[in-house]
């Protein structure tokens, strides 16, 4: 139960730290990194939702 809560929080924290670290090197790079991470998250979520069945198996 705790792992299901902790896993997304650690992922978001890692994304924020990566984006902030890139921003410290070069400010536009932080925004680019954050945008790319959001796009990656969106694509992976859409792929996961498209493969998840919404109805009972064999119901066509």
What predicted TM-score, i.e. pTM, was given to this entire model?
0.72
Q: What is the mean pLDDT of the chain?
A: 86
Give the rounded percent of residues in the chain with a pLDDT score beyond 70: 87
In the chain, where the domains are located: 1-49
At residue 40, φ and ψ (nearest 5 deg) are -65, -45
Question: pLDDT by residue (tens digit) across 22-42?
Answer: 999 999 999 999 999 999 988
Answer positive or negative: Cα dihedral of 50, 51, 55, 60: positive
**Residue 53 clears pLDDT 80, i.e. is over it:** no
DSSP 1-60: -HHHHHHHHHHHHHHHHHHHHHHHH-HHHHHHHHHHHHHHHHHHHHHHHHHS--S-TT--
Residue 53 vs residue 7, higher pLDDT: 7
Q: Pull the structure tokens for residue 5.
A: 């809560």
**Residue 55 clears pLDDT 70, i.e. is over it:** no
At residue 9, φ and ψ (nearest 5 deg) are -65, -40
């Amino acid at each position: 139960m705790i792992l299901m809560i902790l896993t997304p929080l650690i992922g978001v924290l890692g994304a924020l730290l990566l984006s902030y670290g890139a921003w410290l090197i070069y400010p536009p790079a932080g925004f680019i990194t954050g945008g790319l991470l959001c796009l990656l998250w969106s694509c992976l979520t859409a792929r996961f939702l498209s493969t998840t069945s919404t109805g009972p198996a064999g119901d066509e």
